[in-house]
């Protein structure tokens, strides 16, 4: 883990409080409850280790500014969330079959028992019963892309999630059972690490301070942060912000201009090298090299509608079937 900070080891191992029962909650009500604090699935994001979500996007959600964010449809069969929810009981059942450990659902949002950590919440997939060495089961599924994150064991953001659960519940160990590409089950044991938990709590507290003070955390360069910024500031006011005397931002602008020039030069060089290989290949489909290979294949013909000709033949279609696409803010650079 790369969370490094000098903090005291947490002393409390009291059992978690049951904040609210989830059996009768709708999905919208459950999502509202999650806004009261940092849940276990938020932990990796809160400390900046989630490859799928930025702190800024999570902040939008926790502060109720997520109205313009794309919403995941729980019934969308192309969504990893859909398959994760559908396969969770199957993963749990296979875990019991593999280990002999019996499990049960808790059906509650749990809360840290310490008053100064009441913002720490947790949803537990399953509680392990009757085992002396493990108390929590976290069920995961990973597709072709997600499986890459599991090549060296449990990804860091999942470790954060589990240590957060152990912190909230006061438990000693958890098993992570992951179904890889629908055909391979792996089980990993994660022991409670109080030093790691202490660092995790300190960093989560920093994030929660952003929420409590209504202060957006810094962007991190990710696609998630880009999306969050567009949702946070969808419209421009027409005003001009004079940052000439802001040395820090002026230096940031200069770095951006220089970097873009470097990228342009490298892109031009990339095109030259690619064309040299293509010219040498001629009509060959594949070329082999000492360190790899390239292919240059013709794709299958595709079929589409010639909209230009169609509108010439039937110009009234534009008025009969209007479609207005909302505009978005463009970021254009002009250097002196």
Spell out the per-residue pLDDT of the chain, length 336, in tens: 544 444 444 555 678 888 878 777 787 787 788 889 999 999 999 999 999 999 999 999 999 998 888 887 878 888 888 888 899 999 999 999 999 999 999 989 999 999 999 999 999 999 999 899 999 999 999 998 889 999 999 999 999 999 999 999 999 999 999 999 999 999 999 999 999 999 999 999 999 999 999 999 999 999 999 999 999 998 899 999 999 999 999 999 999 999 999 999 999 999 999 999 999 999 999 999 999 999 999 988 888 888 889 888 888 888 888 888 777 778 888 888
Instruction: Quote the tokens at residue 207.
Output: 């994030």
Residue 120: predicted pLDDT = 96
How far is the CA of 137 from the CAs of 107, 108, 147, 161, in angstroms?
14, 15, 19, 12
Residue 73 in 3-state DSSP? coil
Report field, pTM of the whole predicted structure over 0.85: no
Contact by Cβ (8 Å): 146, 80: yes
Contacts with 55 (C-beta within 8 Å, 6 or more apart), sequence order: 45, 46, 48, 207, 210, 217, 218, 220, 225
Residue ranges of E strands in 205-305? 286-289, 292-295
What is the longest distance spanned by two Cα atoms in the chain?
77
How far apart CA 237 and CA 170 sit, in angstroms, is 50
Contact by Cβ (8 Å): 161, 138: yes
Residue 209: Cβ-neighbour burial (10 angstroms; 0-12, 13-18, 19+): exposed
Helices (H) and strands (E) in the chain, counts: 10, 10
Nearest alpha carbon to residue 22 among 121, 126, 108, 125? 108
Contacts with 8 (C-beta within 8 Å, 6 or more apart), sequence order: 198
List the 108-111 sheet strands across, edge first: 17-21, 108-111, 121-122
Residue 257: predicted pLDDT = 95
């Amino acid at each position: 883990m790369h969370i490094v900070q000098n903090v005291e080891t947490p002393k409390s191992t009291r059992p978690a409080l049951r904040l609210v029962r989830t059996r009768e909650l709708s999905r919208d009500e459950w999502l509202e409850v999650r806004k009261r604090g940092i849940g276990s699935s938020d932990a990796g994001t809160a400390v900046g280790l989630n490859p799928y979500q930025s702190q800024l996007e999570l902040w939008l959600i926790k502060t109720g500014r997520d109205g313009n964010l794309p919403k995941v449809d729980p019934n969308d069969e192309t969504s990893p969330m859909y398959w994760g929810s559908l396969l969770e009981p199957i993963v749990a059942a296979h875990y019991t079959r593999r280990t002999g450990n019996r499990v049960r659902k808790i059906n509650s949002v749990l809360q840290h028992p310490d008053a100064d950590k009441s913002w720490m919440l947790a949803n537990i997939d399953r509680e392990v019963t009757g085992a002396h060495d493990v108390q929590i089961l976290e069920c995961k599924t990973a597709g072709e892309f997600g499986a890459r994150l599991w090549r060296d064991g449990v990804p860091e953001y999942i470790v954060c999630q589990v240590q957060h659960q152990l912190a909230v519940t006061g438990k000693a160990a958890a098993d992570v059972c992951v179904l890889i590409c629908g055909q391979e089950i792996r089980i990993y044991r994660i022991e409670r690490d109080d030093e790691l938990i202490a660092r995790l709590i300190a960093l989560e507290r920093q994030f929660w301070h952003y929420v409590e003070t209504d202060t957006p955390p810094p962007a991190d360069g990710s696609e998630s942060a880009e999306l969050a910024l567009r949702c946070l500031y969808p419209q421009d006011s027409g005003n001009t912000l004079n940052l000439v005397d802001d040395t820090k931002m002026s230096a940031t602008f200069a770095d951006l201009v220089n970097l873009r020039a470097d990228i342009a030069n490298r892109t031009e060089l990339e095109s030259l090298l690619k064309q040299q290989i293509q010219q040498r290949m001629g009509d060959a489909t594949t070329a082999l090299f000492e360190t790899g290979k390239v292919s240059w294949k013709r794709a299958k013909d595709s079929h589409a509608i010639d909209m230009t000709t169609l509108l010439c033949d039937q110009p009234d279609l534009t008025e009969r079937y209007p479609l207005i696409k909302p505009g978005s803010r463009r970021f254009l650079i002009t250097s002196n």
